[in-house]
Structures are given as C-alpha cells and as structure tokens.
Amino acid sequence: MPPPLDVTRNYVGHGVDTINAHISNRTIANSVSYLLPILEILPADFTFLDVGCGPASITIDIAKRYPSATILGVDGSPAVISQARDAAQKANVHNIRFAVGDALDLAPTASDPGFELIKGSCDVA
C-alpha cells in the first residue's frame, strides 16, 4: 500500500508545517465569530462536526468553552490529525475526538447519528 498523500501540500502547495504555523492560533473570536450567536442558543450537550479542522485550534477553543458538547474534528491529513490530538491532550479537553476523513464520505454511524452544528473550513477540497 502506498504511503498516505500529504493532501494539504497537494491542495494548497505548502506542507503541513508551513500551513500550521499560520493557523495554529485561530480561535472562535478571531476566526469564526459568526458562530458565537449560534453556539449560545444550542443545548449545552450539542454535537459539533468540524470538517477540515486542521491543527484544531478553533475546534479545541469550542471544546474548552462548551465542555458538555460532543465534538468531532475531521481532516484529510493523518499528520494534521496527529497534531490536533496532541494539541487537545495538551489543552486537557476530553469532549473532542479526531478522525482522518474525507468531507465527501462522512456517513453517519451509530456513534455519530448527526450533528447540531457543522463547520467546514474554507480550504476543504
């Protein structure tokens, strides 16, 4: 089996490390503030899917602000998902998990029957 492709490099022309250096400090407030009014009206135990989560700085910020939520971050790059998992562990958030996945193939499962909120990154291919 061939090694996994660096989908980030294929899509934007830069490697994961270069991209992450620019986006690892994103938060709800400085990057997706339009979500704040929506997040405030959801039930405390809402479910959230972040497609194209990257290194998960926004995803982790949401997990910290809403500890009763169930959060799934998905990205096409195994290297980025590994970084996201490390960052979540370092941030000590436990209501978040990550998966390598394709935005076009996110079939619901028994453990993920649906989501109240889905955010897609602008760089999802």
Does residue 1 form part of some domain? no
Which strands, in side-by-side order, build the sheet including 47-51? 96-100, 70-75, 47-51, 117-120
Give pLDDT tens digits for 19-65: 556 566 777 777 788 889 999 999 999 999 999 898 899 999 999 99
In a domain, 38, yes or no: yes
Predicted confidence (pLDDT) at residue 110 exceeds the cutoff of 60: no
Range of the domain at 99: 7-120
The pLDDT of residue 13: 54
Output the domain CATH number for residue 13.
3.40.50.150
Beta strands in 4-85 (DSSP E): 47-51, 70-75
pTM for the whole structure: 0.76
State how many domains the chain has.
Answer: 1
Output the pLDDT for position 81: 92
Alpha helices in 92-124 (DSSP H): none
